Each structure stands twice: as C-alpha cells, then as structure tokens.
Amino acid sequence: MSKNVLVVGFAFISTIALFSLNHAAQQSPEPKPVTVPANEFSAERAHNLLQTLLAENKPHPVGSPQNKIVKSRITAELDRLSIGWEEQGTWACAYRYNGCAFVENIIAIIPGKSEDSFIALMAHYDSVPMAPGAGDDGAGVVAILESARALALEAPFEHSIMLLFTDAEEMGLIGAEGFFNQHPLAKKIKLVLDFEGSGTTGQSMVLRTTDANE
C-alpha cells in the first residue's frame, strides 16, 4: 500500500472522527423530568411553567393588558417559591432606538452571604406585537424561574442572586435601560447572565460576552 493511500485514508478517518465529535458536542442534554431531585433543574417542569405563563398563546408587548397578565403569573410563581420581589415602575428611554415607555421590571432576590454583591440572571418578559414570545423570551423567563427554584434550596451562596425580568426589551432594551440607569442595586451587580432567545433551534450557547470575560 502506497504512502499516498495511507495519508488519504488517515485524513478521511480523521475528518469523520472530527465531524462525529463536533456533532456530539452540539447535541443538547437529555431533558430531565419533574421526578428528578428537587435541587436539580427539570426541563419538563420549566416547559410546564411556560405553558402556564403563556396559556392564552397571545402576544404581550409592553403596556398591553396581556403583558400585565404575564407579569402577574411571574410574580405569582415567585410568591409560590417564597422568593421576595419588587416591581420597578418607571419611565425609561432607549435613545439608540428613539423610543420611550413606562416599564414594569420585576426584581427578585435570593439572599446570599453578601448583600452588596449580586449575580444577576436576566430575561425579558414582553413580546413583539405579532407573536406570543415563547422562544423570545418566555423560555428564558421560565429557565430562570426553574433555576431559581433549585438554587433557593442550596442558598445562601457567596453572592446574592438577582432575578431580573425586564419589560419593553422588544422596543429597544428600554426596561434594561430603566433598571441599569435608575435602580440603586444595579451598581452592586458583579455579573449579568442574560437569557435571550437569539435563535430558533439547536443547543443553548454563550454569546455576546464582554471584553472583560476571560
């Protein structure tokens, strides 16, 4: 057998192996049922909560009656989990998008060992005017709520955990502008993990990290 044949064969096998490894890496983990231990994340439980949150399957843009219904269901779930929360109702503007709105952000806290240091889990609960927003960003909202349920059982952590559900994201991040520019707790946040529906299919991934992340 010639060296050329061996080289071609090795390259072919290596390509197949790399393709298989890449394919395996892109597969999502098997979703866990509601029967998993209480301190573990259950995708089935999160999915059930999403169906409750968006029961009418209607759009809920900022300022709409349906938006308030979705907000009330989020706060009801926080109450059920015995996680304290507050509502930030304020006018805010996103000058990059030439838009202003009265936003109603929800800020919930799982207390940690430090009251001056927060890790924020963030998602927006409003939708675009023409879709119910299950992927963008209802999935992010319920992922945080289900994570919070499990995390609360393990608390306290070194940092306090903030659950930040912003309004009017679809108008240009207006709810986030209102929180980070006006709320006193914003300056105490050390890390923000924003759960956003930036795609339609596939595995969840980290994207749009800041320059300071190593």
Same domain, 153 and 53: yes
Catalytic residue set? 169
Task: Of 3-7, 55-59, 83-87, 188-192, give the lowest mean pLDDT range.
Answer: 3-7
**Residue 206 placed within a domain:** no
- 52-71 average pLDDT score: 98
- Tell me the pLDDT tens digit for each residue of 163-173: 999 999 999 99
β-bridge mates for residue 121, sequence order: 163, 193
Rounded alpha-carbon distances, angstroms, from residue 96 to 15, 63, 99, 100, 129:
46, 20, 8, 11, 20
Tell me if 187 is assigned to some domain: yes
| pLDDT of amino acid 12 | 56
Q: How many domains does the chain have?
A: 2
Q: Is the pLDDT of residue 54 over 60?
A: yes
From residue 71, alpha-carbon distances to 26, 111, 156, 213 in Å are 33, 22, 27, 32
User: Band of the pLDDT at 189, cuts 50, 70, 90?
Assistant: very high
pLDDT at 112 over 60: yes
66 lies in the same domain as 170? yes
Domain that holds residue 189: 43-194
**pLDDT score, position 87:** 99
Domain shared by 96 and 164, yes or no:
yes
- Give whole-number Cα distances, 150 to 13, 58, 135, 153, in Å: 43, 29, 22, 6
Q: Are residues 48 and 22 in the same domain?
A: no
Question: Both 77 and 7 in a single domain?
Answer: no
**Quick check: is 89 in a domain?**
yes
Say how many residues make up the chain.
214
Question: Do 26 and 73 have their domain in common?
Answer: no
26 compared with 42, residue with greater pLDDT: 42
Return the residue matching tokens 């994570």: 147
Residue 129 has pLDDT above 90, yes or no: yes
- Among the listed residues 179, 123, 189, 186, the one whose alpha carbon sits nearest the alpha carbon of residue 159: 189
Structural domain includes residue 203: no
Of 33, 59, 38, nearest to 133 (Cα)?
59
Q: What is the pLDDT of residue 14?
A: 57
Is the pLDDT reported for residue 10 higher than 70? Answer: no
Question: Does a structural domain hold residue 35?
Answer: no
Given pLDDT bands bounded at 50, 70 and 90, which one contains residue 5?
A: low
- Which pLDDT score is estimated for 98? 83
The stretch 168-195 carries a mean pLDDT of: 96
Q: What is the pLDDT of residue 116?
A: 94
In angstroms, rounded to a whole number, what is the distance separating the alpha carbons of residues 165 and 95? Answer: 21
Please report, for the domain that includes residue 68, its CATH number.
3.40.630.10
Is the model more confident about 188 or about 211? 188
- Looking at the fold, whether 18 and 60 belong to one and the same domain comes out as no
Looking at residue 4, the DSSP 8-state letter turns out to be H
Mean pLDDT (whole number) for 26-44: 87
| Same domain assignment for residues 47 and 129 | yes
Are 94 and 179 found together in one domain? yes
Predicted pLDDT of residue 96? 80
Looking at the domain assignment, is residue 166 inside a domain?
yes
- Residues 98-124 as b or e (16 or more Cβ within 10 Å = b): ebbbebbbbbbbbebeeeeebbbbbbb
pLDDT above 90 coverage of the chain, percent = 73
